[in-house]
Amino acid sequence: MKELVTFLAKNLVDRPEDVEVTTDEEDGVTQLFLCVADEDKGKVIGKQGKVIKAIRSVLAVAAAKQDRRVMLDLE
């Protein structure tokens, strides 16, 4: 899951070297924290949050195939 979010984020931003994804496992739920450069946050969020919602949707499908629960937060 971490690799999927990293791949998607690096292809969206202007500064892919600043993309960092950390994970935290708790109660069977994997929480992913996406950190990007301040000037790239708008690109990751998108208009009315459509881009981050799309990333979360792709992540949810990938997690469902592995019978896992995953949450994504932007820092």
Q: What is the pLDDT of residues 5-35, one digit of tens each?
A: 999 999 999 999 999 999 999 988 999 999 9
The CA distance from 13 to 19, in Å, is: 8
How many helices (H) does the chain have, and how many strands (E)? 3, 3
Does 63 have pLDDT greater than 90? yes
Residue boundaries of the structural domains of the chain:
2-74
- Dihedral sign from CA coordinates of 10, 13, 17, 22: negative
Does the global pTM surpass 0.85?
yes
Consecutive H or E run containing 12: none
CATH 3.40.50.2300 for domain 2-74, yes or no, is no
Residues in the chain: 75
Does 67 have pLDDT greater than 90? yes
pLDDT of residue 59: 95
- Dihedral sign from CA coordinates of 35, 6, 18, 21: positive
% of the chain residues with pLDDT over 70: 100
What is the average pLDDT across 38-50?
Answer: 94
